[in-house]
C-alpha cells in the first residue's frame, strides 16, 4: 500500500501549507495543541518506527492525547501526510554555489537529497503523482532548476532532466532504505539472509549455472568486500549510486552540447 498526496480538501490544505490563515480569537477553551506540534510528532513517529506504524493513535499518544483529538487540527490522515511531506522538505539546502561547475553542484545535490531521504525513508512511500503544492516542495524544485538551468538546456529538456534526476535519486534511496528496513524487519543481516537461502536454492535448482548462464556471468568478478561493517546490500547500492549518477550526468552533458 502506498499513500497518495494531494488528496486532501484543497481549500483547507493550501492555506494550511502556506500558513496564510491566522486563527481568530474565539470563545471556548484554548487549544493546547497546534498543527505544528502534531506534524512534528508525526514526523518523529515516522522516522523512528516507519510509516506502517504511523497511526493517528500513535501520534496522539506521543502528545498525550487520544487519536480523535488530532481531528480538530487536521482533517484526516491524508492531510497530515501532506503536511509532513512538505514540512520535511524544509530540511533540504535551498541553494548551491554557482561558482562551481553545474556537474559538481548536481552531484552535491544528489548526495544531499539521498541523505535526506535516508533520514526520512517514509518520504519514499508518499507518491509524488499529485504535488502537494506546499512552499517547500516548490523550493526543492527551484533549487535543482537553478542548477540545471546552468547546463544551457532549454526549459523542456531541463524538465526532463530534472524528472530523471529525481527518479534516479529516489530509486537509489529506495534501494538503500529497503535494504535497511528489510534487515530490521527480519532481524537478519544480508549475509544471514543469503546464507539461510542459498543452500535451499542450490537444492531446488541444481542446474542453476546451466539454466542461468548470464546471471552466473554477472556474478563472476565480485566486488571486493567493504572495509567497514556496512551491510553488503547497502554498501553496494551506495557505491553504484555514484557510478550510475555519472552515467546520467554524462547523458545530460551530451544533450546540452
Q: Is residue 197 part of the contact set for a second copy (CB under 8 A)?
A: yes
Give the interface size with DNA as a residue count (CB under 7 A). 27
- Chain centre distance of CA 66: 29
- The grid cell for 207 is 542446474
Q: C-alpha grid cell for residue 82?
A: 501532506
- Best CA proximity match to 137, nearest among 182, 85, 65, 190: 85
Q: Which of 44, 90, 115, 201 binds a second copy (CB under 8 A)?
A: 201
Q: Which of 55, 127, 186, 240 binds DNA (CB under 7 A)?
A: 55
Question: What is the x/- site pattern for a second copy, positions 104-143, by CB under 8 A?
Answer: ---------------------x-xxxx--x-x--xx-xx-
CA–CA dist 24, 183 (Å, integer): 49
**Cα 106–Cα 111–Cα 115 angle in degrees, nearest 5:** 145
Closest approach, Cβ 65 to a second copy, in A, equals: 23
Kindly tell me which residue out of 76, 93, 101, 154 binds a second copy, with binding defined by CB under 8 A.
154
- Name residues contacting a second copy, limited to 5-64 (CB under 8 A): 6-7, 10-11, 14-15, 17-18, 20, 51-52
Name every residue whose Cβ is closer than 8 Å to that of residue 182 and which is 6 or more positions away in sequence.
193
- Interacting residues toward DNA by CB under 7 A: 25-33, 53-58, 60, 65-69, 71-73, 76-78
Amino acid at each position: 500500500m502506498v499513500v497518495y498526496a494531494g488528496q486532501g480538501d484543497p481549500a483547507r490544505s493550501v492555506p494550511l501549507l502556506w500558513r496564510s490563515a491566522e486563527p481568530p480569537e474565539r470563545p471556548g477553551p484554548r487549544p493546547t495543541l497546534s498543527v505544528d506540534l502534531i506534524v512534528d510528532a508525526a514526523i518523529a513517529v515516522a522516522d523512528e518506527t516507519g510509516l506502517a506504524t504511523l497511526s493517528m493513535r500513535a501520534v496522539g499518544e506521543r502528545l498525550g492525547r487520544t487519536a480523535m483529538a488530532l481531528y480538530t487540527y487536521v482533517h484526516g490522515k491524508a492531510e497530515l501526510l501532506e503536511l509532513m511531506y512538505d514540512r520535511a522538505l524544509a530540511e533540504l539546502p535551498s541553494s548551491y554555489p554557482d561558482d562551481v561547475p553545474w556537474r559538481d553542484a548536481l552531484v552535491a545535490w544528489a548526495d544531499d537529497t539521498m541523505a535526506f531521504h535516508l533520514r526520512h525513508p517514509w518520504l519514499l512511500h508518499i507518491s509524488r503523482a499529485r504535488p502537494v503544492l506546499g512552499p517547500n516542495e516548490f523550493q526543492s524544485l527551484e533549487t535543482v532548476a537553478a542548477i540545471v538551468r546552468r547546463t544551457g538546456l532549454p526549459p523542456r529538456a531541463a524538465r526532463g532532466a530534472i524528472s530523471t534526476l529525481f527518479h534516479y535519486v529516489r530509486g537509489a534511496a529506495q534501494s538503500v532504505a529497503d535494504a535497511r528496513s528489510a534487515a530490521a524487519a527480519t532481524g537478519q543481516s544480508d549475509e544471514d539472509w543469503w546464507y539461510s537461502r542459498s543452500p535451499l536454492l542450490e537444492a531446488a535448482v541444481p542446474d542453476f549455472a546451466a539454466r542461468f548462464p548470464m546471471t552466473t556471468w554477472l556474478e563472476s568478478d565480485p566486488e571486493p568486500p567493504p572495509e567497514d561493517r556496512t551491510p553488503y546490500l547497502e554498501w553496494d547500492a551506495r557505491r553504484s549510486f555514484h557510478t550510475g549518477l555519472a552515467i546520467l550526468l554524462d547523458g545530460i552533458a551530451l544533450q546540452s552540447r
